[in-house]
Amino acid sequence: MKMNFAKKCLAVATAGLLSVSVMAPAVAEEKAKSLDQLLNMVKQSKIAETKEHKQREAEFRRQKANQQSLLNKAKQTKKNEEARSARLEKKYEQQELDVNAKRAQLQERLGSLKELFGHLTSTAGDLRSNLSTSIVSAQIPGRAAFLDELIEKMNSATQLPTIEEIERLWYELQRETVEGSKVVKFSGTVIKPNGEQLTQDVVRIGNFNLLSDGNYLEFQTKGEKMIELTRQPGAEFLSAASALEASTDGFTRVGIDPTGPSGGSFLAALINSPSLEERWHQGGLVGYIITAVGAFAMLLAIFRFIVLAGISGKVSSQLKSDKANTNNPLGRILKVAEDNPGLDGETLELKLEEAVLKERPAIESGLNLLKIIAAVAPLLGLLGTVTGMIITFQAITIFGAGDPKAMAGGISGALVTTVLGLVVAIPTVLMHTLVNGRAKRVLHILEEQSAGIIAENAEGK
């Protein structure tokens, strides 16, 4: 019984120790070696817990007293701020009355100046808009800042513009007009297409264009930057620009863009127009094929024309000679007649016709091929146009027709092959006609001489 009672006491003490282990972890870390030591540890835990509770209660009382003090202080601050707000409201109302009175007095004293300031504001606004797009600002930057200050003063209820500022507005108007009629050279920073910034001489043609180092420049109003155009107009315009830069007086012919102040649309359209090489590349694969066929046709026609010219010269020499020479078609035909002196007329005629037929393929060589190329080249151009139109309409189906420039560009590229086909066909037809005329002339001489030999043979018999 005593052993059971001891076990129960040990279990209760252990449970109590576990319950207070959170409050006194330092004590709980020790292990009890006996019941007395366990009882002593439980007692120490209770004592530590009671002491901690008392400390918490004291801290709570101190915070409660402090919170009451803070609350009283906040109430007093609120009361003071409410009183200050009431005083400020009264002061604001009084000052508002004073401001309205001063404004009325200002309007009364301004009188006709109010209308004047309205006109000045409108004029300054228009001038500021003009200066923001003026090429003169490339030479004289920073003029719009003065106008901003002037407009702000004229719209202000507390500031008035001075006589000097109003006179300067008139001066800027006159300077813009005068500078727009001058051709001036000045030094400025030019941004190259590769991003490099160089200080070099710039020629300003009125309010239209900027030139530097023989090239046209673009003026960006934002930041007042001068940038050399990546694409330049034709060589004739650039040579004229260089001549203007080198001239010191007199008149020099040069190309200018009258829409320069509004963005230079004419110059942009000029430099953005594709060159002949770029248009040729727009023809694509079909265009390359047409070009190759055309080049072959020209070479063939020139070659045959040279060959027939040589044959025609030799035939003409043979006509003047009494002896047959086998280095030309006529000489070979005459040689047949000389080799067969005793033949009757019909046999000789057949022999000569056979000789003429042998010479005909060499003389007419290449003529049929030129004729075929002249007929096929336009068909190839039509093929390229049809395929290009199909691609264009497919793009319109996917992306829509919202951009007329893109659609017009696609159609223009598709028509390039038609142009190439006609460019090849027309000269080929002319060359075929010329070469065919040479061949016909030689064959006519051969047939004429053959008929003469037959006639002479018939008369001799």
Can you give the pLDDT at residue 27? 41
Q: What is the DSSP letter of 185?
A: E
The answer on pLDDT for 34 being more than 90 is no
The answer to whether residue 88 scores a pLDDT higher than 80 is yes
Give, in order, the Cα–Cα distances in Å from 268 to each of 64, 193, 255: 82, 16, 13
At 406 the pLDDT is 62
What value does the mean pLDDT take over residues 141-155? 83
In the prediction, which pLDDT does 301 show?
93
Mean pLDDT (whole number) for 314-325: 83
With a cut of 60, say whether residue 102 has pLDDT above it. yes
Q: Domain map of the chain by residue range?
A: 2-79, 111-181, 183-271, 282-460
Higher pLDDT, 75 or 50: 75
Tens-place pLDDT, residues 163-206: 888 888 889 889 888 888 888 899 988 998 888 888 999 999 88
Segment 59-74 mean pLDDT: 80
**Residue 57: left if φ>0, alpha if ψ -120 to 50, beta else—which one?**
alpha
Flag whether pLDDT at 46 surpasses 50: yes
On whether the CB atoms of residues 386 and 256 are closer than 8 A, the answer is no
| Residues 306, 311, 316: CA angle, nearest 5 degrees | 125
- The CA distance from 428 to 419, in Å, is 14
Task: Pick the most confident of 99-108, 273-282, 297-306.
Answer: 297-306
Q: Which letter does DSSP use for residue 186 in this model?
A: E
Containing H/E element for 441? helix 404-460
First to last CA, the chain: 177
* Residue with more model confidence, 222 or 42: 222
Three-class SS of residue 209?
strand
Contacts of residue 64, Cβ cutoff 8 Å, sequence gap at least 6: none
What tokens were used for 169?
A: 């507005």
DSSP assignment of 240-279, as one string? HHHHHHH--SS-------TTGGGT-HHHHHHHHS--HHHH
What is the per-residue pLDDT across 235-280, written as a single tens digit (0 to 9) for each? 888 888 888 888 887 788 888 888 776 556 677 777 777 777 878 8
Confidence (pLDDT) at 261: 61
Strands (E), 192-328: 197-205, 209-212, 215-220, 225-228
Q: What is the predicted pLDDT for the residue at 2?
A: 38
